Amino acid sequence: MEGIKPFFSKFFPPVLFLLCFTALGCSFDYGGSGSEDSGLPDIVMDEVEYVRIRDGDPLVRFRAEQAERYEKKQFMEVRNFSFEQFTDHGERIDSTGQASAARIELDSGNIGISGGVSLSVDSENIVIEAENLSWNDKERQLAVAPEDTVRIFRDDGTSFQGFGFKANTRKRTWEFSGSINGVYVYEDGEDSQDDDAEAR
C-alpha cells in the first residue's frame, strides 16, 4: 500500500497550523479565583476564520464555529472546525478536513480530534475517516485507539478498514495493530493494469 504513504506528509502542515493558530489568542481574566478554578475559558472566539500565508501565498484556511483557550491549563478546544490546504501558489485546494471537535495541548503540541473526522487529499485520491484521531507531536504520529476503526477510500475502488491505526510522518510508515478487511486496488508496473487485492 505504498501509494497511500504520501498522504501523511501532506496532511500534517494543516494539523501543525492549528498550533500556529493558538499563538494568536489573547487572554481575558474573569476575576476572582481565575478561570482555572471557575472552569471558564480565558477567551472565547466565535465564527473563527484564519488563513496562514507564506511569501504572499495562502497555505491553509481554518474555520471553527467556536474556539476556547485556557491559559493556565495550557490547552485550547475548538468545535465544528474545518480546514483547506492550498497548492499552486494558492490557486488550488488539495487537502480538506473536518471534525466536530479538537483539543490542542499548547505545551506539548499534542492534538485530540473527535466527532467524526474526515480527511481528503485530491492529489493522492484518498479519503480517511475515523470517529477519533490523535496527534503526538514529539513522536510525529497520527493514531487511533486499538478498539477504534479507520476507513480508507479511493476512487479506484480501494475501500478497507482496520483497527489500531498508526502513522509515523517522520519515517513515513503506517500500520494497523488489529484486523484489516476490504479491498486495496494497485497498479502493476509491468503490465500497467489494475489488480484487486483483498486486504487481510
Instruction: Report domain extents, the chain.
Output: 2-27+36-148
Confidence of residue 177 (pLDDT cuts 50, 70, 90): confident
Query: Are 194 and 186 spatial neighbours (Cβ–Cβ below 8 Å)?
Result: yes
CA 185/CA 158 separation, integer angstroms: 5
For range 77-88, the mean pLDDT: 89
Its CATH class, for the domain covering 2-27+36-148, is: mainly beta
pLDDT given at position 196: 52
Look up residue 47 and give its amino acid.
Answer: E
pLDDT given at position 171: 85
In whole numbers, what is the pLDDT of the chain averaged over residues? 77
Classify residue 69 as exposed, middle or buried by CB count within 10 Å of its CB (0-12, 13-18, 19+).
buried
pLDDT given at position 190: 52
Query: Are 160 and 177 spatial neighbours (Cβ–Cβ below 8 Å)?
Result: no
For range 14-38, the mean pLDDT: 45
For range 44-51, the mean pLDDT: 88
Inform me whether the pLDDT recorded for 197 exceeds 80. no
Query: Are 133 and 116 spatial neighbours (Cβ–Cβ below 8 Å)?
Result: no
Instruction: Annotate 151-172 with b (16+ C-beta within 10 A) or e (fewer).
Output: bbbbeeebbbbbbbbbbbbeee
Residue among 41, 31, 14, 1 at smallest CA distance from 111: 14
Most confident of 7-11, 18-22, 75-79, 123-127: 75-79
CA 57/CA 13 separation, integer angstroms: 15
Query: Are 164 and 176 spatial neighbours (Cβ–Cβ below 8 Å)?
Result: yes
Q: In the structure grid, which three cell numbers stand for residue 132, read together?
A: 477519533
pLDDT given at position 182: 92
